[in-house]
Amino acid sequence: MKFTAKQIAGLLDGRIEGNPNVEVHKLSKIEEGTAGSLTFLANEKYNPFLYKTNASIVIINKDFVLEKEIISTLVRVPDPYQAFSTLLEYYNTKESHEKGISQHVSIHESVVLDESCYVGEFSVIKKNTKFGKNVKIHTQVFIGEGVTIGAGSIILNGARILSRTEIGENCVIHPGCVIGSEGFGFAPQDDGTFKKVPQTGIVRIGNNVDIGANSTIDRATLGATIINDGVKLDNHIQIAHNVEIGSNTVIAAQTGIAGSTKIGKSCFIGGQVGISGHLKIGDGVRAQGQTGITRNIKDNEVLQGTPAFDFKSYSKSFIHFRNFPEIIKRLNQLEKEINGK
């Protein structure tokens, strides 16, 4: 698919600097740009590549001041990163033409699919499932009994959506996700063994949720595990039974959240964060990577370390952590001097 600079500027409400008729047919990183490619510049660390790139079109900040001549046509916008994301979304929409039902699928006779829906090869859809318009079920997907999927949602290759799971509109479930599997519940017995506690609840996912590849969300013991509107989950995340995640919270890869913890709205949780069970995490909380949260957290706290504590205190304390061997050495020397007297 080809775009001219004029078309791109029209989509982004941008201003052209250079040839409005130059065409692009592919995307590239700015340091790898070639003729016919489109790229963007949003991080000042990459400024030097602007003068070296062979990309035909570069999306750039409207106030960026050139230090020397360039060969690329510029499209100037208020926010290059946001503009490039908008363009990618448009591009994906144009590229996503999948419609119809493959002949190599297993769909229960009770399932009604709108003609706008797509089901790819070797997918399985069990009875009493319900789909909105423009739902895309890609190859080798399993959809269990009684699942509901809202309009415009996309379930990518190899995902497993288990019984009675509810997924809202315009969600994206990436490859390998397992949603609605049994939670980790075992009751200790007098003889030292463990008895399985049945997990009879569901998973309820809101609208505009994105769940990364190979992430898992367990169904509730009772009630629902809830992922609210606008939540964005990275790859390889574990959400345990009865967890609730507030709207527009973002969680990075390899984070694990234990059962029955409630996370507030608009939180930013870094990679490899561990969160204990039965906690309440406030709105607007920010947890740096590899933080271990073992207590309730108030609104807008910024955390780091294990057990987690205030980020600024952690940064100050880290200076002493790093110098601790030298501090011990000096204390031992002082002790010798005092005892010697």
Please provide the DSSP assignment of 180-196 as one string.
EEPP--EEE-TTS-EEE
- Cα–Cα distances (Å) from 262 to 19, 107, 278, in that order, read 53, 36, 7
Map residue 7 onto helix, strand or coil: helix
Measured over the CA atoms of residue 32, residue 33, residue 39 and residue 42, the dihedral's sign is positive
Q: Which of 314, 278, 275, 280 is nearest to 298 (CA)?
A: 280
Instruction: Enter the tokens of residue 225.
Output: 């595990």
Q: Is 195 exposed, middle or buried (0-12, 13-18, 19+ CB in 10 A)?
A: exposed
CB 4 within 8 A of CB 16: no
Residue 241 a catalytic site member: yes
CA 322, distance to chain mean position in Å, is 33
Taking the C-alpha atoms of residue 159 and residue 135, their distance in angstroms, rounded to an integer, is: 14
Listed in order, strand segments (DSSP E) in 78-227 are 100-101, 106-107, 118-119, 124-125, 130-131, 136-137, 142-143, 148-149, 154-155, 160-161, 166-167, 172-173, 178-181, 186-188, 194-196, 202-205, 210-211, 216-218, 224-227
Collect all residues with Cβ–Cβ distance below 8 Å to 322 and sequence separation of at least 6. Answer: none
Instruction: Enter the tokens of residue 48.
Output: 């030097």
CA 166, distance to chain mean position in Å, is 19
Number of Cβ within 10 Å of residue 244's Cβ equals: 21
CB 247 within 8 A of CB 208: no
Taking the C-alpha atoms of residue 239 and residue 262, their distance in angstroms, rounded to an integer, is: 11
Q: Which of 104, 138, 241, 320 is catalytic?
A: 241
Write out the catalytic residue numbers.
Answer: 241
